[in-house]
A and B are shown apart, each in its own frame.
Chain A
Amino acid sequence: MSKLKVATCSLAGCFGCHMSILDLDERLFTLVDLVEFDRSPITDVKQIGYCDVGIIEGGVANAENVHVLREFRAHCKILISMGACAITGGVPAMRNRFTLKECLEESYISGAGLVDAQIPNDPEIPLLLSQVHPIHEVVKIDYFLPGCPPSADAIWTFLTQLLSGQPIALSYTQLHYD
């Protein structure tokens, strides 16, 4: 059997979920026997090719997040929303109770020690959405794996079940939102 191709990325997240993947420790060796990593912070591959599974960490906070997420959806047969931020917007979504104006002015205008304070307008910098959203509000998601981050055990259970075509059944301690 040829190896399944897996891509991962972090949108508006903290890389904690990816750290948790690294936490698989020696199980990573088993994993790389089963799958080949395509675009991922783990491989440092920047362009995504066609994949079987895409794993997204983080919510959608800016225009670039939307582009990357759409790329993943277009290239992956199965797309997984991993972690609290991808699933609920998470901690970044705590800015949703403020207007974008308030957020930007707080960081770029009224913050301490700023010289020539202004809101950045460089086209290289992706524009922020007015609110942070979970990724399933932008593209179709096939599976959700909650946790902040999901534990390595939960990730392992999830991936082994998914790769072997079983239904996903996390144990009680593997299912949590924090």
Chain B
Amino acid sequence: MSGEPSFTLDDQPVPFQDGQTIMEAARVAGVYIPHLCFNPDFAPHGSCRVCLVKVNGRPQAACTTPAVAGQVVQSEIEELQEIRRGILEMMFVEGNHICPACEKSGACQLQAVAYYVGMLAPRFTYFYPQRTLDASHPDAVIDFNRCILCELCVRASRDIDGKNVFAVQNRGLKAHLVINTPSGKLGATTFSITDKAAQVCPTGAILIKNRGYETPIGRRLYDRQPVNVVGDVAQVPESEGGRRHE
């Protein structure tokens, strides 16, 4: 048979074009692979590791692994969902995620992916780190307690907005997001809520002011349908409860 090359993803054939990753090909084919640091508008990053799949039996990140004809890719298997739950648990215990007190709740991709993989509780021991909240900007708040270091804001501000407002500093568990000004305050930057960087955060770390709790519970982005149906918060227009500006 000629035509486009393909691989199988959970036994379904997925066609791809040369140079595409497993994630991109699956996305085009409309097959969902859970992810957080991947955003189709950016080069793959590979840091959250939620998109872990098995490629010919070997665990690999779908977002960074090139598609190859004939590959056998597994995604929706219990072994991987278990690992993904573990990674999500790590994200929850690493920061301070108090969903009931978070404006983003219900429209948060971190939460939605955790629902998708069936995480009931972050069972690892909580770190309860001491992190801050910065409301110095007139239109936006950044709550570092909820940052999962996906670096989407870093990439968006640097590569698309050309502002380089965000950066990651230090290493290991001490790695953390910073604002690139001497004061470290968002208000001291040229950040604007129309920036790409304001539209990409998968969590409630970067929030637009004066817009909290606009949508009643039950009608929020992920209230009724899961993330695989609704899509990434950054891809859904604002009018529908997402982040994309029109």
Contacts and interface: CB of A to CB of B under 8 A. Distances in A.
A–B proximity contact (CB within 8 A)? yes
Contacts of B97: 88
A91 B98 contact: yes
Interface stretch (B28-36, B121-129, B156-164): B121-129
B127 to A, nearest CB: 10
A178 B106 contact: yes
Contact of A96 (B96, B99, B106): B96
Contact of A146 (B101, B106, B120, B223): B120
A37 B120 CA distance: 25
A148 B128 contact: no
Interface of A is mostly: mixed
Contacts of B224: 172-173
B121 A94 contact: no
Interface string B181-203: 00000000000000000000000
Contacts of B120: 87, 144-146, 175
Interface string B120-164: 111101101011000000000000010000000000000000000
Contacts of B145: 97
A11 to B, nearest CB: 16
Interface residues on B, range: 20 to 34
The dominant DSSP class at the B interface is loop
B101 A88 contact: no
Chain A interface: which size bin? 20 to 34
Contacts of B21: none
Nearest to A177: B99
B64 interface: no
A94 B99 contact: no
A148 B105 CA distance: 11
A58 interface: no
Contacts of A18: none
Contacts, number: 76
Interface in A106-146: 131, 133-134, 136-137, 141, 144-146
A102 to B, nearest CB: 12
A175 B111 CA distance: 11
Contacts of A177: 99-100, 105, 111, 114
A111 B168 CA distance: 38
**Which of the listed residues A91, A97, A133 has the most CB atoms from chain B within 10 Å of its own CB?**
A97
Contacts of A89: 98, 126, 128
B92 interface: yes
A129 B130 CA distance: 17
A178 B105 contact: yes
Given A91-B100, A145-B120, A172 B225 contact: yes
Nearest to A87: B121
A144 B121 contact: yes
Interface of A: 81, 84, 87-91, 93-94, 96-97, 131, 133-134, 136-137, 141, 144-146, 148, 172-173, 175-178
13 contacts: A87-B121, A89-B98, A89-B128, A90-B100, A93-B128, A94-B101, A96-B96, A134-B121, A172-B225, A172-B226, A177-B114, A178-B99, A178-B217
